[in-house]
Structure 1
Amino acid sequence: MSSIPVDVITDILLRLPAKSLLRFKSVCKLWYHIIEGSDFIKLHFQQSNNLHLVYKSPVLYMSDFDSFDNTIELDYPSKNMGSDVYVAGSCRGLLCFFKYSYPFTVFLYNPTTKKHKTLPLLPLKTIFRRKRSRYLGFGYDHVSEDYKCARMFQLKSDDEMGTFKSQVMVYSLRANSWRQGVQEVPHHFDRHFGYCVHFNGILHWSVRDEANDNRVPLPIVSFDLYNESFSTIPMPSFRTEMYLHAHIGALDDSLCLMINYLEECDVWIMKEYSRPASWTKLFRFQKQQMYQEFRPLSFSTSKKQLFVLLNLYDVASLDLETLEITKVQLSRFHKVLYAYVCPENLLMFKDAEDVLVGTKRRNKNSKRGRLMRRTDRLLQHHDSFL
């Protein structure tokens, strides 16, 4: 085996699923260092097509996507804390949890490697340590190649003007620390729309004016993880009769909206990000029951179905040809509190120096070339294979 070129070994390993690679780390020291390498982890993530569905019912389970077979129960921190622990979001196969009560613990969890990282406690102003509106977003900054969390705390004033105080804290996995954001939150968030959608390095929240009787949503609020700036994205022009709620999501390379009415639902996508004129309505489908709400989850692998969260408690499949809705029968479970599609990610939470996938280098050589040179050096020192 020692006569096999390192680049051939690397190419073969890159084609294997994460489950096999985690076992093969014990084959020899060379394979261990190849699979643990940040460049290998990034390359494997970029070319892997293996997806999983992670869902809570009431603890977290993981199944194959989109067959929903091979269900396993996940072991993660705070598993037995029940409703006090929430999944704030998913990005690149990682999940972000937070404990709702003080001291507001946040941790990251990788369902592929079963590893987690508890974030440092938040250094908050005293007024925000009481139970007030708190929202958390999690995503990946593609510019700095860094995973980040944005935590927003809001406290409404007692006056009739509807003013509020806010504090934004941003966590960097590279620095392994929180710091206060450069800008305060320009909008007050309604509790119902607290979930966050990550798309292209930007966090998104759908908010609405609590005082608006028509419940027409305000523009989508976005937070750029690179420059830490807030902005808004106007909603498409849609009819407001019998309107219930608008739920945002990310489908492939587009931001998505599902406009829920009393008896039907419209599906919109933004074909060119940040260009409101590019909002395009794909189709409308009839609901099986009144007041049902649909939130986009993911296209199926074949692109013939759209998986959605139905009433935020069930996974359902929408046939894109017939527009018929079918509940997905997940093994052994009847109710799903939330669900996320997670690609495989070999990221292991270790020291701050090692934790990132694909740390930037100043040289202009390719990532694969750097990986080959690194493994060549290792081969010179580790020539014995099991």
Structure 2
Amino acid sequence: MSSIPVDVITDILLRLPAKSLLRFKSVCKLWYHIIEGTDFIKHHFQQSNNLHLVYRSPVLYMSDFDSFDNTIELDYPFKNLSGGVYVAGSCHGLLCFAMFSDPFTVFLYNPTTQKHKTLPFLPRRPIFGRGNLGFGYDHVSEDYKCVWIFQVKSVDEMGSFNSQVMVYSLRADSWRRGAQDVPYYFDCHSGNNVDFDGILHWSIDDNRVPLPIVTFNLSDESFSSVPLPNFQTEMFTGAHTGVLDDCLCVMLNYFEHYDVWIMKEYGRPASWTKLFRFPKQEMMEECSPLYFSMIKKQFFVTFNFRHVASLDLETSEITKVKLPGFNRVICAHVCPENLFKFKDAEDVLVGTQQQRKKNSKRQRLMRRTERLLQHHDSVYRSIFGMQRHNGADPNVGS
């Protein structure tokens, strides 16, 4: 193994799925340091095509995407609490969880490695009750960020409101006040949010009146908006944002059908293009985009917040995705493999002592294995020397 150049070993390991790499870290120290390296993790994520479907039913499970098999139950904090936690955002295969029960807790979770990072408590509890949590990746600073938006309407003056924006940086591991407060009021709870190229997008609907998509740039922390396509508003019931074929996507819901649009040139409203329309099936009241498979030419959606379905773009046939042993799927996310590790991945509230014991046990095991290998090597050299001294060929078996 030592005669193989390190760059060749690295190139071979980069071609392997994350599941194998997590096991191969224990092969030897060299492989461990290669796989744990920051550059290796970054390059593996950029070239990996392995996807997973992460969903609740009612706790989180993960299966291979497209085949929907090899299902495993994920281990994450607070999953056995009666109130549970919910996924507030997804980016680069990482999930952002929130727990609304007191004390309010937010943590990041990597389903590939099943490691997590608990965010610090907010330095100052906002005076506003409910809010909206978004999660994405800032390409400029190469930093994962969370944004927590608090808003409340003023009872004194019609149309006025108070707001507060808090931004968390994983690199700094701290919350701070955002550079800009929300310039207009919107009901965060009526829409979903998605990260597209470092900009968070919220699709909002108010009493079935179409409103622009609210955006928050994670780099300069500025708010803006993206107008919806010029579409027929009659029988309109809502809009949901997503990412489709590397473009911002919006799915418009009507009483009898769904329209799917993409913005071919981001930031240019005239580039909105309607891709297709498909009819509503029975019990498909609320649909949102999930993923587009280029290989299968299928468009995956979640509907009624309980199921996943695929739309064949050639035949327009809608098929409900059936996962073995599960009747319903809640809060589905398509997550690419990511070996990303948190600097202090062990939660400060639970599991720290257990992890230290595991690390200590692993270190003892590695030292013991090293001693055994050294002993076997010493015995082999001794036997080899004796056989050569006696004129015997050590490569000939008995």
TM-score range (shorter-chain normalised) is 0.7 to 0.9
CA contact (8 A) 1:220 1:232 kept: yes
Q: How far 1:159 moved relative to its partner?
A: 3.1
Residue aligning to 1:362: none
Residue aligning to 1:367: none
The answer to whether residue 49 in structure 2 is matched with residue 49 in structure 1 is yes
Residue aligning to 1:154: 151
The answer to whether residue 346 in structure 2 is matched with residue 349 in structure 1 is no
Residue aligning to 1:200: 197
Counterparts of 1:287-366 in structure 2 under 5 Å? Answer: 287-289=280-282, 292-351=285-344
Whichever residue aligns with residue 334 of structure 2, its letter is V
Q: TM-score, normalised by structure 1?
A: 0.87
CA contact (8 A) 1:139 1:148 kept: yes
Residue aligning to 1:222: 215
Q: Which one is further off, 283-292 or 321-330? A: 283-292
Whichever residue aligns with residue 97 of structure 1, its letter is F
Counterparts of 1:1-386 in structure 2 under 5 Å? Answer: 1-128=1-128, 132-159=129-156, 161-209=158-206, 213=207, 215-289=208-282, 292-351=285-344
Q: Which has the higher contact order (CA 8 A, sep 6+)?
A: 1
User: What CA distance in whole angstroms lies between the structure 1 residues aligned with 2:344 and 2:283?
Assistant: 51
> What do residues 312-353 of structure 1 show as CA deviations (whole Å, max 9, x unaligned)?
21100111011111110012111222100000011122249x
Q: How far 1:162 moved relative to its partner?
A: 2.8
CA contact (8 A) 1:135 1:194 kept: no
Whichever residue aligns with residue 288 of structure 2, its letter is R
Whichever residue aligns with residue 187 of structure 1, its letter is Y
CA contact (8 A) 1:183 1:228 kept: yes
In structure 2, the CA distance between the partners of 1:58 and 1:36, relative to structure 1 (3 Å rule), is same
User: What CA distance in whole angstroms lies between the structure 2 residues aligned with 1:244 and 1:258?
Assistant: 11
Residue aligning to 1:360: none
User: What CA distance in whole angstroms lies between the structure 1 residues aligned with 2:201 and 2:27?
Assistant: 43
> What do residues 207-254 of structure 1 show as CA deviations (whole Å, max 9, x unaligned)?
234xxx5x2221100000010000000010111111111111111310
> What do residues 98-147 of structure 1 show as CA deviations (whole Å, max 9, x unaligned)?
1123432100010100100000001234523xxx2310100011111100
User: What CA distance in whole angstroms lies between the structure 1 residues aligned with 2:36 and 2:283?
Assistant: 51
User: Secondary structure of the residue that 1:322 maps to in structure 2?
Assistant: coil
Residue aligning to 1:366: none
Whichever residue aligns with residue 79 of structure 1, its letter is K
Q: Which runs of 5+ in 1 are unaligned?
A: 353-383
Whichever residue aligns with residue 8 of structure 1, its letter is V
Q: How far 1:277 moved relative to its partner?
A: 0.5
Q: How far 1:170 moved relative to its partner?
A: 0.5
> What do residues 40-68 of structure 1 show as CA deviations (whole Å, max 9, x unaligned)?
00000000011000001110000001110
> What do residues 69-106 of structure 1 show as CA deviations (whole Å, max 9, x unaligned)?
11111010010124441100110010000112343210
CA contact (8 A) 2:126 2:150 kept: no
User: Secondary structure of the residue that 1:113 maps to in structure 2?
Assistant: coil
Whichever residue aligns with residue 46 of structure 2, its letter is Q
User: Secondary structure of the residue that 1:80 maps to in structure 2?
Assistant: coil
> What do residues 14-57 of structure 1 show as CA deviations (whole Å, max 9, x unaligned)?
00111111111111111111111100000000000110000011
User: Secondary structure of the residue that 1:112 maps to in structure 2?
Assistant: coil
Q: Which one is further off, 117-126 or 88-97? A: 117-126
User: What CA distance in whole angstroms lies between the structure 1 residues aligned with 2:283 and 2:190?
Assistant: 21
Q: Name the count of aligned residue pairs.
A: 348
Residue aligning to 1:358: none
Q: TM-score, normalised by structure 2?
A: 0.84
User: What CA distance in whole angstroms lies between the structure 2 residues aligned with 1:25 and 1:220?
Assistant: 44
CA contact (8 A) 2:188 2:202 kept: no
CA contact (8 A) 1:88 1:195 kept: no
CA contact (8 A) 1:208 1:217 kept: yes
User: What CA distance in whole angstroms lies between the structure 2 residues aligned with 1:199 and 1:193?
Assistant: 19
CA contact (8 A) 2:154 2:162 kept: yes
Q: How far 1:188 moved relative to its partner?
A: 2.4
Q: How far 1:191 moved relative to its partner?
A: 4.7
User: What CA distance in whole angstroms lies between the structure 2 residues aligned with 1:176 and 1:191?
Assistant: 25
CA contact (8 A) 1:263 1:290 kept: no
User: What CA distance in whole angstroms lies between the structure 1 residues aligned with 2:176 and 2:293?
Assistant: 39
Q: Which runs of 5+ in 2 are unaligned?
A: 346-373, 378-398
User: What CA distance in whole angstroms lies between the structure 1 residues aligned with 2:266 and 2:318?
Assistant: 29
Whichever residue aligns with residue 223 of structure 2, its letter is F
Q: How far 1:270 moved relative to its partner?
A: 0.5
Residue aligning to 1:356: none
User: What CA distance in whole angstroms lies between the structure 2 residues aligned with 1:187 and 1:72?
Assistant: 43
Q: How far 1:156 moved relative to its partner?
A: 1.8
CA contact (8 A) 1:151 1:170 kept: yes
User: What CA distance in whole angstroms lies between the structure 2 residues aligned with 1:303 and 1:160?
Assistant: 54
Rg larger in structure = 2
CA contact (8 A) 2:238 2:254 kept: yes
